[in-house]
A and B are shown apart, each in its own frame.
Chain A
Amino acid sequence: MGGFPILSAVVFLPLIGALIIMGVRTATAGSFSKEEAGKDNRAALLAGMIISGATFIASVAAFLTFDSNAAGYQLVEHYAWYGAVTYKVGVDGLSMPLILLTTFLTPICLLASWNSIHTRVTEYVVAFLVLETFMLGVFAALDIVLFYIFFEAGLIPMFLIIGIWGGKEKIYAAFKFFLYTLLGSLLMLVAVVYMFQAAGSSDIEVLEKFAFPPHVQTWLWLAFAASFAVKLPMWPVHTWLPDAHVQAPTAGSVILAGVLLKMGGYGFLRFSLPMFPDASHLFQPAMFALAVIAIVYTSLVAWRQTDMKKLIAYSSVAHMGFVTLGIFSFNEVGVQGAIFQMLSHGLISGALFLIVGVVYDRMHTREIAAYGGLVNRMPVYATLFMLFTMANVGLPGTSGFIGEILTMVGGFQASTWAAAGAALGVIFSAVYMLTLYRRTVFGEITNPKLEGIRDMSMIELVCIVPLALLTLLFGVAPNLIFHITEGATNRILSLMVGG
């Protein structure tokens, strides 16, 4: 198929926009007085939203030409680049929803920064747009070297976002985030080089069909897992996440939880399962064990947190445990559930970080103890908070329920004990989420500073309401997603069998 390279356009539109913003900013530097600087900042944010909005529209256009019934890769673009390494992008039912999630969340993130980011706004917008290009590239790449480049490049803008606009311990968190992830990805690089030499190609479609000997698979699998486990993150390499989340600005947390964590699950599904099926089977019990530990242990840790963002960060680790469980069940229900859970968690955790951001912008503290009785002053806020609390717990009718139940059903077919352990986590998630909700929203106002707190502004509503609607929509009509992901799921599973 010739025609317009729509996928490349989606991937690189934010980058081009970022360059334009930088160029305009340089050209107009110094032409704004102090009073007008605010206006200038708003202009940068607005430009960023327009560009990311256009990217979203472009990705929807790409989705409209996407045939959900076909199993293979579509919208493929293939150009020569560097010898056997080629520039090849394309999407299937696994990557398409994740691309839409990314393009959907980025404008929301920029909008959510409207009132909370006041310093170096142009750089902030540029960092976000560059990050968006790298995230989209990760999901669109069909060449393993290209994938690696996007995967690791994403660290740089995120490092800057945490380090410049973060909280008190931002430097520590930014370095920890960067170095932790880098160690994992460099081990993956060793494996990538090895595979490149063994197969003579870095094309993902070729590598999927290439049969690596079982003992080699074990090592390659471990090297890839080192990277994806850190990214996902899985227990015990999750410790960078709470730090990064707590220190990052609200929008940074949203994108981190919403999209960056999904790269880990995406990597397992795109590489580990189809390329190293023997090793995946070998490590299935270990992954189940780690998943269950993640679900139970981090849920308990989340319960004892006094910082709202940290609590949600630990809850993310727990929910990613369900993704691991679903992926390594190796059956259609489990894998479909895992993909669904990734999307659903992207919406829910993104929304929860925004919810925390709303009160943080007003009170400048994330301590749970500083709140209480918010329902008396912020009824709209309490309603939305309740909705996402329930979605995070996995209440039927929300998308959280579908993801959790399917991954558990899938896990149950593979291992009863793993599913039983995961079920325990569902209970714990209710414990910590409801505790959080009760202590912040219900009760009497104890902190006098809360007396004058305002309810949500229009901008905040515009950010959160779409997420709420989608959470409910996917909760009652999950087939919208399954219809897209079914072909890709079956293809991955058949590649596992066919080798």
Chain B
Amino acid sequence: MLDYTAMILAIGPELWLAAAGLVGVLLGALLKDRFNSLSFKYGALALFGAAAITLIFYEGGEAFGGLVRTNTFVNFAKFVSFSVGGFALIMSEGFLKRHDTIRYEYVLLTIFASLGMGIILSASDLMTLYMGIETLSLSSYVLAAFHRDSARSSEAGLKYFVLGALASGMLLYGASLVYGFAGTTSYAGIFTADTSIGLLFGMVMMIVGLAFKVSAAPMHVWTPDVYEGAPTPVGAFFATAPKMASMVVFANVMFTAFGNILDQWQMVISIIAGMSMLVGSFGALTQTNIKRLLGYSSIANMGYALVAVAAGRETGAGALLIFMTLYVISSLGLFAGVLAMRRRGGMVESIDELGGLMSSRPWLAIALSILIFSIAGLPPFGGFFGKWEVFNAGIQAGLMPLAIILVVASVVSLGYYLRVVKIMWFDEPKERFEPIDGSVTLTVLVSAFVAGIVFLIFINALAEWANTAALGLPS
């Protein structure tokens, strides 16, 4: 007999999303094309509703005999992921309408991807984890290829699928090894299992699989291609909600399942973190496409986040939540900025197209500059505290070499961030962009205001909330 109360406490948001997705399918079947436009409001409602439900059952619980177990740490991530996912959905509508690809399937796929994010965050068992990852990934592959008439989009989807399948295979192989040597698939059981070479081997394979999901080097190669090829709103979604979820899941697996062998994986994560920072920041230097640039920038930022993971649970968990929250808000705003880059004849993606934005659209330019400086971790904007937290965690854990790499990567990445600022402020004005959707303008301005200014002044509120949430991790 299922305990329904425990079930709702533990996975209320996922139940809501699953129901919303299925009802959406029915509505689509009944209303057909009339549902296309309406579906975006529906989807946003579903995601914001899931975020609200997460808050209601914030303390979490355990269900299905320990297959899922939620706590404040993962619920924090769920809340942020669902919220930014909702915003990403709202601002996509105009884009898809103009490209004549406004289909309710887009919304449903986003809902199912979000369901996957919810499941992996709730998972406390390798089986649940794998199921969630596949739900998230399969929806994502289709989303990447959503412009099926466009060769670039199809290519992005295919690349993502082939490489993603490989990574999933690695993850599954690692999970089976872990199961073989630990004798259990539950995080708690693995935590107490004896360390053996087979367990470590499985763990490393799992790290490879998870690193692919968060696009950390050297499993990052898909990121720029998929960001570039996928329709821009899809890129905006990929860069925000699943990033937050996957990174927190990565941390959750390392802290909860392998938490007592920190000394065994700290070095592995450190190397991945260091490589991501360097690959991301150097790789972005020569990019001319804004979406590719953001792709590399996200690789570098995942490297920063992994510094917090490598720092371990006590020092890193809170820092990770703070950093990732600030990062996804800025990232969402920047992608909204890309959506605003529209001229007669469609979207433009070259960085040079931003030329002289300060003259043609000053507020957009100022907001984007704030977002860029914030994502670069430059004071006086909120993003600085994200980097500060990561620094703090890294140094407290004694990872001095990583801190130095972080410094180097930050300076290098400023090289390309500044180039974007330079183009917006210094260059000769180009032709004005087409009128921008209200939702896009709003997203840019709000995210710049929140990430840049609100979380500069009221960073304490965010930090306290995140640090308290991190205490929910089982120790």
Q: How far is the CB of A30 from chain B (nearest CB, A)?
A: 12
CB within 8 Å of B: which of A172-221? 174-175, 178-179, 182-183, 186-187, 189-190, 193-194, 196-197
Contact between chains at B425 and A82 (CB < 8 Å): no
Interface string of A108-121 (1 = CB under 8 A from B): 00000000000010
A134 to B363, CA, bound (A): 22
Contact between chains at A197 and B411 (CB < 8 Å): no
Contact between chains at B407 and A190 (CB < 8 Å): yes
Contact between chains at B426 and A197 (CB < 8 Å): no
Contact between chains at A179 and B391 (CB < 8 Å): no
B418 proximity list for chain A (CB < 8 A)? 159, 175, 178-179
Contact between chains at B422 and A163 (CB < 8 Å): yes
Interface centre among A150, A178, A187 (most CB of B within 10 A): A178
A120 to B428, CA, bound (A): 12
Contact between chains at A149 and B395 (CB < 8 Å): no
A196 to B396, CA, bound (A): 10
Interface bin, chain B? 20 to 34
Contact between chains at A183 and B411 (CB < 8 Å): yes
B459 proximity list for chain A (CB < 8 A)? 81-82
A26 contacts B by Cβ under 8 Å: yes
Contact between chains at A196 and B392 (CB < 8 Å): yes
Contact between chains at A193 and B378 (CB < 8 Å): no
Contact between chains at A153 and B395 (CB < 8 Å): no
A174 proximity list for chain B (CB < 8 A)? 422, 426
Quick one: closest A residue to B370, CB to CB? A156
Selected from A81, A164, A196, A197, the residue in CB contact (under 8 A) with B425 is: A164
B373 proximity list for chain A (CB < 8 A)? 156
CB within 8 Å of A: which of B335-373? 358-359, 362-363, 373
Contact flag A80-B460 (CB < 8 Å), given A171-B426, A189-B407, A190-B403? yes
Quick one: closest A residue to B379, CB to CB? A149
B411 proximity list for chain A (CB < 8 A)? 179, 182-183, 186
A440 to B313, CA, bound (A): 67
A365 to B463, CA, bound (A): 53
Contact flag A152-B392 (CB < 8 Å), given A82-B463, A123-B358, A189-B407? no
Interface centre among A83, A175, A190 (most CB of B within 10 A): A190
B384 contacts A by Cβ under 8 Å: yes
Contact between chains at B426 and A150 (CB < 8 Å): no
A402 to B403, CA, bound (A): 44
Interface string of B422-449 (1 = CB under 8 A from A): 1001100000000000000000000000
Interface bin, chain A? 35 or more
A164 to B422, CA, bound (A): 9
Q: How far is the CB of A167 from chain B (nearest CB, A)?
A: 13
Contact between chains at A187 and B407 (CB < 8 Å): yes
Selected from A82, A156, A164, A189, the residue in CB contact (under 8 A) with B460 is: A82
A159 proximity list for chain B (CB < 8 A)? 418, 421
Contact between chains at B407 and A149 (CB < 8 Å): no
Give the number of residue pairs across the A-B interface with Cβ within 8 Å.
80
Contact between chains at B414 and A182 (CB < 8 Å): yes
A155 proximity list for chain B (CB < 8 A)? 378
A240 to B16, CA, bound (A): 58
Quick one: closest A residue to B427, CB to CB? A171
CB within 8 Å of A: which of B372-410? 373, 378-380, 384-385, 388, 391-392, 395-396, 403-404, 407, 410
CB within 8 Å of B: which of A239-270? none
A interface, by DSSP: helix, strand, loop or mixed? helix
B407 proximity list for chain A (CB < 8 A)? 183, 186-187, 189-190
Contact between chains at B379 and A148 (CB < 8 Å): yes
Q: How far is the CB of A499 from chain B (nearest CB, A)?
A: 24
Selected from B358, B379, B391, B410, the residue in CB contact (under 8 A) with A193 is: B391
Interface centre among B358, B359, B380, B395 (most CB of A within 10 A): B380
Contact flag A83-B460 (CB < 8 Å), given A160-B425, A175-B418? yes
Q: How far is the CB of A98 from chain B (nearest CB, A)?
A: 20
Contact between chains at B460 and A150 (CB < 8 Å): no
B66 proximity list for chain A (CB < 8 A)? none
B180 contacts A by Cβ under 8 Å: no
Contact between chains at A178 and B414 (CB < 8 Å): yes
Contact flag A197-B379 (CB < 8 Å), given A183-B411, A186-B411? no
Q: How far is the CB of A77 from chain B (nearest CB, A)?
A: 15
A182 to B414, CA, bound (A): 9
Contact between chains at A152 and B378 (CB < 8 Å): yes
Interface string of A447-458 (1 = CB under 8 A from B): 000000000000
Selected from B359, B379, B464, the residue in CB contact (under 8 A) with A153 is: B379
A170 proximity list for chain B (CB < 8 A)? 426
Contact flag A189-B415 (CB < 8 Å), given A82-B460, A149-B380, A153-B380? no
Contact between chains at B415 and A179 (CB < 8 Å): yes
CB within 8 Å of B: which of A13-52? 26
Contact between chains at A26 and B363 (CB < 8 Å): yes
Contact between chains at A150 and B380 (CB < 8 Å): yes
Q: Could you list which residues of chain B lie within 8 angstroms of chain A, going by C-beta atoms? A: 358-359, 362-363, 373, 378-380, 384-385, 388, 391-392, 395-396, 403-404, 407, 410-411, 414-415, 418, 421-422, 425-426, 459-460, 463-464
Given contacts A152-B379, A193-B391, A196-B392, 19 further A-B contacts (CB under 8 A): A81-B460, A83-B460, A153-B378, A163-B422, A164-B425, A164-B426, A170-B426, A174-B422, A174-B426, A175-B418, A179-B411, A186-B411, A189-B388, A190-B391, A193-B388, A193-B392, A193-B403, A194-B395, A197-B392
Sample of 16 A–B contacts (CB below 8 Å): A82-B385, A145-B388, A148-B379, A149-B380, A153-B378, A156-B373, A163-B422, A163-B426, A178-B414, A178-B418, A179-B414, A182-B410, A183-B411, A189-B407, A193-B388, A193-B395
- Per CB-CB distance, the 5 closest pairs between chain A and chain B, nearest first, are A149-B379, A153-B380, A186-B407, A82-B460, A153-B379
Q: Could you list which residues of chain A lie within 8 angstroms of chain B, going by C-beta atoms? A: 26, 80-83, 120, 123, 134, 145, 148-150, 152-153, 155-156, 159-160, 163-164, 170-171, 174-175, 178-179, 182-183, 186-187, 189-190, 193-194, 196-197
